[in-house]
Structures are given as structure tokens and as C-alpha cells.
Amino acid sequence: MAAPNIETIVSLSKRRGFVYPSSDIYGGLGSAWDYGPMGIELYNNVKQAWWRWMVYERDDIEGLDSSIILNRLVWKHSGHEDTFNDWLADCRKCQSRVRADHHFVRVSQTDEGRPVFMTTDVKCPSCGASDWTAPRAFNTMLKTRLGAAAEEDPNALVYLRPETAQGIFINFLNVLTTSRRKLPFGIAQMGKSFRNEVTPGNFIFRTREFEQMEMEYFVRPGDDERAHQEWIDACHQWFTTLGVSADNLRLYEQPKEELAHYAKRTVDIQYRFFPEREDREKQWDELMGIANRTDFDLRTHSKKPEDAEGKRLNPDSTEDLSYFDEATKERFYPYVIEPAAGVNRTVLALLMDAYSEKINDKGEKRVILKLHPSMAPIKAAILPLAKNKPEIVGMARAIKRSLQPVLRAVYDDTGGIGKLYARQDEIGTPFCVTVDHQSLEDEAVTVRDRDTWEQERVKVAELPEHLQKRLAS
């Protein structure tokens, strides 16, 4: 079957309660989406899997939850106030606006990180002309104000964070001291970030409010390249453990002209989000970025760090974020390896990857969401074959209650069995458990597999263990 496009997923999402357009009853809000009963389960499964993998299954990573709104000086010294820009250009003929880094080739960048684009002969997607204004910067940090200060009071201005990473850097010393860590070690954080994207769109792929899963891994300079490669391999592998097909993932090495000014090397893990695009290169886009950020961040947030060129001196910070190595008696700024992924884009990749269609024996098309069982919003649906038979209904409800402490189960009697199966297939439920007349006699139920539609008879007493085993395998 051909890969689904995003429109197919948008329609499934709305129909089955994964994702709804936000503020819909008031006409919506450009590119804002709300996660429904199924969506939030999938969303939370992604986050829990990431946290388990990053924090619980390793010995060298601590967790953190920093504020969304930070002191404005954080964004001044991190460089975001000056450089967190999208570059825009307008067509002089029809006035349509494009994002320069999506539409033109970036040929180089200045020392300050200002990109230089090649615009000659690039056609306007709306009118075909090739007459562009010079690309200009638009800072994408979302602004707000704290307290009752007047609208125009510049001191009241704060930003909603555009990434979670800076909250980690400013807590580097706190975590280092309280957890008595030694290099190498990492700090992981998940949370909302905000970017005033100029061209949001493609469903939950690019929104102005989104959630990130970021980890900053601090290493001794010199150990950075090896650690970077290890994280690239580990992250790629992680997506496959969530059930994403390796064929739809690829590594993209950012060329020098694309690198952020602080980065030594960045590799993106891309997913084939746009399989319908003719240009094969444009079928792929970023799911996760893994950057070697050098010692830029800890240095830039440090109280007057030494810098041979006199740049990046920080008179505002009260701390030096350098590290003292007891063994070698050296003091230095650790290098940072950053795997940064979006929760929303991961959810989208999982939905696209799991989407499949199958024709049943009546010749009808059925949608099956072949999510990895660990990602499925519901693990088992308990369905009574006859809803007017109180004994069957009672038994089905009791089975649901016995399962709910160990796995997410639902009870459903709102349709004929064919319709109930179809509904569960569409939301990716790995198992349907049917209670029928015979169950009352033999204390057994039918367990139906989502992917094969095969059925087997299982004793009620053995059901929790049976399902848990199959979910884990």
C-alpha cells in the first residue's frame, strides 16, 4: 500500500479522537491543534517511552523541569534575541511571502550567523516571477509581559521559551552539585516550547506551540565527537523501537552553510513526512536534531568568561559554569551533545507509519493502525457479543475491571461486533476480547489480533497474563 499523506491522517485523527483543530467552534486558530482521548494517550506513551529510555534505563542522566518563562537575560546571552530568526522574502510582483531557508539555497553565512541566500532565478510558487526582496530577519520568539506593568514598559517584556535547552544550561551547576555527577553526564527535559513560526502548517508537523524532548549531554572537550556519533546511532535506533520503519527514517548531515553558528556538527534524523511529493529530496523532513553545540552554551552563560577576541563577555551572570576535573586538576567548559526531538512530530510519524488498509471478506476497506503495542492508546477492548444479555454484559464489565490495574482497557457495546472491531482497528488497539454465550459456560473468551484478525480462545483467569505477555513480545 502507498504511504498515506498527511491529509489522510488529519481525517483519521479527527474521526477517531486523536487530534482536533483547536478553537474550532470559533473558526479555529491557525495551526493550533488539540489532542483528543486517543491522541493524548499516544502522546503520553511517546513521552513516557522517551523518559524511560533517557533517564531510567541509563546511569548517566538526570531529569529536570525548568520554567517556560525565564529571565530575559537568558535569551540575550544565549544569542536568541539576536539570532533566533526566520528569514523572509517577498515576491515583488505578487507580494507573496516565502521562508527563505525553505525556498532558496543557503550559500554561506556571516561570522555573526547571518545566512546568505541565492535568490536569482528562483521562481515564486504563486506567480512564477523571480523578483525577490532581500531576505530579512523576523525574530520568532513569542513575547508576553509579566505583572501589571504598562504595555510599553520594556522591563516587563519576557519570552515564552523557544526551546527547553536553555533551562538546562542555566541549571547545569545546580544539577551537577546536587547530584554529585562527574563528566560525562546528561540532563533531560520535556516540555512546551513556542515559536512564532511564519509558515506553520502540515498539521502537527509545524505549529507555534509544541513540545520538545531534549537532553544535553556534557562531555570533556575531545570526547565530543565520539559521544556525538554514539547519540546519533542510539537515537536512530530508538525510533525503530517505537515501531517506526527504518525505511522511512534517514540521517541527514547538515552542510556547513546550514549549521547554527555555535554547532560543530549537526545530524538530523529525518522521517518521510511527505511521500506524495514528486521531488524525492523534499519528501523528508526533520524529526530530531542531534547537535554538537561545543562549549558555546556554558561559556556564554558564564560570568565574564574569557574569550580571546573579547566577544561573548557576560557581565550579567553571577556564576561561572565551568567544570573542575578532580582527577586531572583541570578547569574547563564541557562540550554539549544535544539530541532534540519534537513530541508532536513523533506522534505524526507514528500515525503515518502505522496507517494501513485491508480489505475484509465482504470486500470492504478497513483502516488498521498498526501501532507498536507500547504506543497503542488502548491495549485491549472488551466487547460483549450480546448487549441485551445481562450475564454477558456483567462478565465483560468484570473482565474490563480486572484488566484495568495492569493495562489500559475499555468496554464497548455501542454497535455490532463487526463495527466494534473496525473501530478498534482504526485506533490501533492490539487486542479485542469478545465475551459470548459460551463464555458463561467455559469461562473463556475470544482474543482477536488486530493485525492478523486471527482469534484464539483464552481462559478468563489467564487473560491478564496472556495479554501482558503478548504485548511485551
Q: Looking at residue 69, what DSSP letter applies?
A: B
Q: Are 212 and 195 in contact (CB under 8 A)?
A: no
Q: Nearer to ligand ATP by C-beta: 84 or 323?
A: 84
Select the residue interacting with ligand ATP from 4, 115, 186, 289 (CB under 6 A). Answer: 289
Q: Do the strands 365-369 and 355-359 form a parallel or antiparallel pair, or are they unpaired? A: antiparallel
User: Could you tell me if 345 and 351 are in contact, meaning their C-beta atoms sit under 8 angstroms apart?
Assistant: no
Least distance from ligand ATP to the Cβ atom of residue 161, Å: 12
Give CA–CA dist 119/102, Å, rounded: 12
CB 211, min distance to ligand ATP, A = 8
Q: How far is the CB of 288 from ligand ATP (least distance, A)?
A: 5
Beta bridge partners of residue 187, listed in sequence order: 62, 216
Nearest to 348 by CA among 7, 80, 2: 7
Per-residue string for binding with ligand ATP, 337-366, x by CB under 6 A? Answer: ---xxx-xx---------------------
- Total residues contacting ligand ATP (rule CB under 6 A)? 16
Is 191 or 342 the residue whose CB approaches ligand ATP more closely? 342
Helices (H), 108-241: 165-169, 172-179, 224-241
Q: Nearer to ligand ATP by C-beta: 338 or 412?
A: 338
Q: Which is nearer to ligand ATP, 86 or 426 (CB)?
A: 86
Q: Which is nearer to ligand ATP, 334 or 342 (CB)?
A: 342
DSSP H helical ranges for 263-416: 296-300, 343-354, 390-403
The residue among 467, 470, 432, 424 whose CA lies nearest residue 38 is 424
Cβ of residue 214: shortest distance to ligand ATP, in angstroms? 7
Residue 236 in the binding site for ligand ATP (CB under 6 A): no
Segment near ligand ATP (CB under 6 A); pick from 122-130, 283-291, 304-312, 375-383? 283-291
**258-286 burial: b if 16+ Cβ within 10 Å, else e:** ebbebbbbbbbbbbbbbeeeeeeeebbbb
The reply on whether position 6 binds ligand ATP by CB under 6 A is no
Candidate residues 210, 218, 239, 421; the one interacting with ligand ATP per rule CB under 6 A? 210
Which residue, chain included where needed, has cell 561570522? 111
Provide the residue type at 411 as one letter: Y
Task: Give min distance, CB of 279 to ligand ATP, in A.
Answer: 17
Using rule CB under 6 A, residue 288 touches ligand ATP: yes
CA distance 12 to 18: 8
Quote the strand ranges of 91-135, DSSP E.
Answer: 97-99, 105-109, 115-118
Q: Provide the mask over 179-198, with x wherever binding to ligand ATP is found by CB under 6 A and - wherever it is not.
A: ----------------x-x-
Give me the least distance between CB of 207 and ligand ATP, in Å please: 5
Cβ 131 to ligand ATP shortest distance, Å? 26
Cα–Cα dist 299/82, whole Å: 17
Name the minimum Å distance from CB 203 to ligand ATP.
10
- In the complex, the smallest distance separating the C-beta of residue 138 from ligand ATP, rounded to whole angstroms, is 13
Q: At which residue does the C-alpha cell 554539549 appear?
A: 336
Count other C-beta atoms under 10 Å from residue 169's C-beta.
Answer: 24
Indicate the residue among 152 and 281 with the shorter CB distance to ligand ATP: 281
- Pair type for strands 431-435 and 380-384: parallel
In angstroms, what is the minimal distance from the CB of 341 to ligand ATP?
5
Q: Coil, helix or strand for 206?
A: strand
Stretch that binds ligand ATP, among 126-134, 272-280, 282-290, 389-397 (CB under 6 A): 282-290
Which residues make up the interface to ligand ATP (CB under 6 A)? 163, 195, 197, 206-207, 210, 212, 286-289, 340-342, 344-345
